[in-house]
Structure 1
Amino acid sequence: METVGEIGEKLVKQWLINKRWQIIQHRWRCRLGEIDLIALPNNSSNSLAFIEVKTRSRNNWDEQGILAITSQKQLKITQTATYFLAKYPKYLDYNGRFDVALVNYQKYNLQFCPKTESSLVWNNYYFKIQDYLENAFEVNG
């Protein structure tokens, strides 16, 4: 059975595909951690985006998930990205960046939940991409 987080990731993945991004990996894992999505943006032939997806219910305490991207989480993502690049050196010449996609969900209500390319309905819940933050954080050190 799929989790809320997995549905949020699938929504972001499909949204990026619709924007002509090339998805390199979905839920790439190694001993250091996981990166939700790794993709090549359509607007730049030399960028590689490491994307963290945060899916939260509306009015969540952590600002739709952005507060969950702590310095420790950033370090874990950057270390995992470094491991990815070591395993796939063909991407070493790309400009890496760290993006964050914020997805929210709520009980589905036809009147208040319009279907758009950045939304979907699953198990009577409405998911919508609230924000997409390019270069949400940088590698420190």
Structure 2
Amino acid sequence: MGSDDSSQLNSSRKRAPADPNSSQSPNSRALGTLGENLVAEWLQQQGWEILHRQYHCRWGEIDIIALGRDEASYQNRGIPHHQFPTLAFVEVKTRRRGNWDLGGMLAVSAAKQAKLWQTAEIFLSTRPDLANNSCRFDVALVRCEPSRQNIKQILLPLTAANSKSALTGNYRLTLQEYIRAAFSN
């Protein structure tokens, strides 16, 4: 088999990216994007502004970069919360039932944390206007479970009581846990 034959074979194995709103089972990347969509919507409902999604640099990727008010943090320090917004670098882990890594938490290893830290530093170097904001690294754990309903698109709930769950295709996505300041340098 020549090199042209092997490249044809490899290109025929490549699949088109999965449509995240498809009723078929999403692949890992599409599933991750669905989880990120849910978390981004939830953050916006909490009053956060999404500055960037899937920020890439040579060190890695940050799923969500958001700017908002971390009132609890400021109240504990006696600082008026209107003075300094917080910049949150959010790592989203979306998992199906039966995963091996505690819903994604074990995937945020020390090596992954170091990559996120370096990626955040690169981001901040491109945005000096954000340099005076306090920063934190959050982790969002999203669970994906089969649903009996077949929905053609993501239907995000409008009520605060149900704002941590969404339906798409044959799946229900639920924000299981949002860990603020999950790690630091």
Unaligned stretches of 5+ in structure 1?
A: none
Distance 1:36 1:22 in 2: 14
Runs of 4+ off more than 6 Å: none
Matched, 1:125 2:171: yes
In 1, are the aligned partners of 2:49 and 2:67 still within 8 Å (CA)? Answer: yes
Question: In structure 1, which of residues 102, 106, 120 is the aligned counterpart of residue 145 of structure 2?
Answer: 106
The alpha-carbon deviation at position 69 of structure 1 amounts to 0.3
How many corresponding residue pairs?
Answer: 135
Matching residue's letter, 1:30: C
The alpha-carbon deviation at position 32 of structure 1 amounts to 1.5
Distance 1:11 1:42 in 2: 20
Matching residue's letter, 1:40: L
Name the structure 1 match of 2:4. Answer: none
Name the structure 2 match of 1:73. Answer: 112
What are the within-5 Å matches in structure 2 for residues 79-90 of structure 1?
A: 79-90=118-129
- Identity in percent: 41
Query: Any idea what the Cα deviations from partners look like across 1:35-75, whole Å, max 9, x if unmatched?
Result: 00001123454311000000001242100000000000000
Distance 2:69 2:134 in 1: 14
Name the structure 2 match of 1:37. Answer: 64
Question: In structure 1, which of residues 110, 135, 141 is the aligned counterpart of residue 181 of structure 2?
Answer: 135
Q: TM-score, normalised on structure 1?
A: 0.90
Distance 2:51 2:98 in 1: 32
In 2, are the aligned partners of 1:38 and 1:50 still within 8 Å (CA)? Answer: yes
Q: TM-score, normalised on structure 2?
A: 0.70
The alpha-carbon deviation at position 28 of structure 1 amounts to 0.9
Unaligned stretches of 5+ in structure 2?
A: 1-18, 21-29, 72-83, 150-156
Matched, 1:23 2:50: yes
Matching residue's letter, 1:52: E
